[in-house]
């Protein structure tokens, strides 16, 4: 069963050793960028949606690393 975004964030914040530190940093930076963008832009703006989708892809990659799998992100 997949973790919801809040569970994923909590697990990532605990410093799961299976998840690459660069990936954790990217997720945190995108998360903060998304929060700021959502405060300044409409939630349905193309920019906010693109950030959200990028963050989703990185979270999925981190979840795969946490369970021992690895899947490359499609750019």
DSSP 59: H
Q: Summarize the confidence of residues 3-11 as an average pLDDT.
A: 54
Range(s) of the domain holding residue 25? 20-66
Dist CA 47 CA 20 (whole Å): 26
* Residue 26 in this model has a pLDDT that exceeds 80: yes
Q: For residue 12, is it within any domain? A: no
Q: For residue 72, is it within any domain? A: no
Query: Can you tell me whether residue 75 is helix, strand or coil?
Result: coil
Hey, CA dihedral for 63, 65, 70, 71, is it positive or negative?
positive
Assign 45 a pLDDT band (cuts: 50, 70, 90): very high
Q: Summarize the confidence of residues 3-27 as an average pLDDT.
A: 68
Give pLDDT, residue 75: 44
- Reported as half-sphere exposure (CB side, CA atoms, 13 A), residue 31 has a value of 15
Higher pLDDT, 28 or 19: 28
Give pLDDT, residue 44: 87
Q: Summarize the confidence of residues 62-69 as an average pLDDT.
A: 84
Q: For residue 42, is it within any domain? A: yes
Q: For residue 5, is it within any domain? A: no
* Total domains present in the chain: 1
Q: For residue 4, is it within any domain? A: no
- Phi, psi for residue 44 in degrees, rounded to 5: -100, 10
């Amino acid at each position: 069963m997949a973790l919801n975004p809040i569970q994923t964030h909590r697990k990532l914040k605990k410093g799961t050793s299976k998840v690459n530190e660069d990936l954790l940093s990217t997720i945190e930076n995108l998360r903060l960028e998304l929060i700021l963008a959502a405060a300044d832009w409409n939630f349905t703006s193309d920019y906010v949606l693109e950030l959200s989708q990028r963050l989703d892809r990185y979270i999925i990659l981190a979840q795969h690393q946490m369970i021992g799998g690895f899947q490359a992100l499609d750019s």
